[in-house]
Every structure is written in structure tokens, then in C-alpha cells.
């Protein structure tokens, strides 16, 4: 089919949690049961027609530039994700500084969430993050380690991490919504299960 095709797939799956007894606050999550999709929604963008054009000036009277503060702890080389929440700006730099940085609404640097390393609470390459606003928790997805880290947003304190142990499917993006944590799913082997989204079971306590 000509053009770009977006497949939106919604599937149910079984998440099995394997308990580990590590001393560094790490749990393991194994995604085993995958149900084959009975329906796939295909959106052909080439067939869509633009009905209306919307300008940002229709919603905002003026724009105020905010300069993010440069410090030795916050040297941002690229902005790969930007989220504004609770009087804070959260920035992901995936390529250069490899970190998640928190700024105030005035652009002043507040803290870095986690850091690159091999110890507890340290990631190798943060691909994405998502925020649980109600519980003051930020989740960071390490796409290389296939591990999700959680921290207190208010002070950056490391809480725990879990590892996704399905080697046939990898995740790089996460989203917290309505009390649940979801991750994208990219299959690296040929399979009939063409799902694109999976739920991560975060309910177990760390050891």
C-alpha cells in the first residue's frame, strides 16, 4: 500500500513477575503469554484530507522565551523530550548528556534524575521517561539495558528498577496513565503476534 501506514494495535497479554533476591533493589519482569490480535486498525494517511488549519496564535496571546540554565551538572546537547508539569520543566537528552534534567518554570536548573553508571539507580542510556503526577514518581526507560527505573520527582531519590526479560521483544518508550505503565513493543523475531503495546507490571515490592 502506497504511502505511510500507521498500525494501531491493541492487545491483551500476560505479565509474569519473577522474584529475585538481589541486594540492589532490582526486580525482574517476564512477559510470556502473548495473545494474537483479532483486529488491526489501519489508518492510511494518504487518503486523509486536511479540513482545517489551526494556528497557535488562536490559543495564545503572546509567547515568552525561557532560557534553560547551563551548569556543569546540566549541559544539554539535545532536547529529545520535553514535558511541563507542576511548575517544572523536564528535559530528556538522549544523545549528548544522556540524562533527564529538571528545571523550574524560570529556567533555573533544579536536579538531574539518575545518572549514567552501573550501580543501583544508574542507567546506561535513557530512551524515554514518563511521570506519575499523583504519586510524585518519574519512570525512566533504559532502552539498552531493557530496564525501567523509578525515582521521586521532588528530590530525585531512586526507588527501584525492573528488568524486562523478553528477548524477542524490546521496548524503548513508556507511558504512565490511569495507574498503569505501558511500553511499546518491537519484535525482533518473526511472529504471528504483531502487537505494538504491552503493560508493565510494577506492583511487586523490591527486595
| pLDDT tens, residue by residue, 96-148 | 999 999 999 999 999 999 999 999 999 999 999 999 999 999 999 999 999 99
Average pLDDT along the chain: 78
Give percent of the chain with pLDDT exceeding 70: 72
> What residue segments make up the domains of the chain, in order of their start?
5-48+62-200
For the segment 85-102, the average pLDDT, to the nearest whole number, is 93
For the segment 76-86, the average pLDDT, to the nearest whole number, is 91
Cα gap 143→125, rounded to integer Å:
6
Pair 126, 113: CB distance under 8 Å: no
pLDDT at 184 over 80: yes
Nearest to 161 by CA among 30, 18, 32, 29: 29
- In tens, the pLDDT along 23-36 reads 344 343 433 333 44
| Residues paired with 116 in a beta bridge | 123
Q: State pTM to two decimals.
A: 0.70
Sign (positive/negative) of CA torsion 120, 126, 127, 132?
positive
pLDDT at 14: 26
For the segment 180-194, the average pLDDT, to the nearest whole number, is 79
pLDDT at 147: 94
Superfamily of domain 5-48+62-200: TolB, C-terminal domain (2.120.10.30)
**What's the pLDDT band for 197 if we cut at 50, 70, 90?**
confident
Of 70-79, 98-107, 159-168, 174-183, give the lowest mean pLDDT range: 159-168
For the segment 64-93, the average pLDDT, to the nearest whole number, is 91
What is the Cα Rg of the chain in Å? 19
Amino acid at each position: 500500500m502506497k504511502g505511510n501506514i500507521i498500525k494501531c494495535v491493541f492487545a491483551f497479554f500476560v505479565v509474569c513477575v519473577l522474584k529475585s533476591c538481589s541486594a540492589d533493589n532490582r526486580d525482574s519482569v517476564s512477559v510470556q503469554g502473548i495473545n494474537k490480535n483479532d483486529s488491526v486498525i489501519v489508518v492510511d494517511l494518504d487518503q486523509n484530507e486536511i479540513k482545517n488549519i489551526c494556528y497557535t496564535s488562536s490559543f495564545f496571546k503572546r509567547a515568552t522565551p525561557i532560557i534553560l540554565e547551563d551548569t556543569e551538572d546540566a549541559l544539554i546537547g539535545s532536547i529529545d523530550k520535553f514535558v511541563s508539569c507542576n511548575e517544572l520543566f523536564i528535559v530528556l537528552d538522549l544523545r549528548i548528556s544522556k540524562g533527564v534534567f529538571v528545571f523550574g518554570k524560570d529556567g533555573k536548573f533544579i536536579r538531574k534524575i539518575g545518572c549514567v553508571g552501573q550501580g543501583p539507580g544508574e542507567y546506561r542510556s535513557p530512551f524515554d521517561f514518563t511521570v506519575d503526577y499523583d504519586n510524585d514518581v518519574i519512570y525512566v526507560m533504559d532502552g539498552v539495558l531493557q530496564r525501567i527505573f523509578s525515582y521521586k520527582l521532588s528530590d530525585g531519590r531512586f526507588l527501584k528498577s525492573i528488568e524486562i526479560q523478553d528477548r524477542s521483544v524490546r521496548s524503548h518508550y513508556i507511558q504512565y496513565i490511569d495507574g498503569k505503565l505501558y511500553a511499546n513493543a518491537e519484535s525482533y523475531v518473526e511472529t504471528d503476534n504483531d502487537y505494538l503495546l504491552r503493560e508493565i507490571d510494577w506492583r511487586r515490592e523490591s527486595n
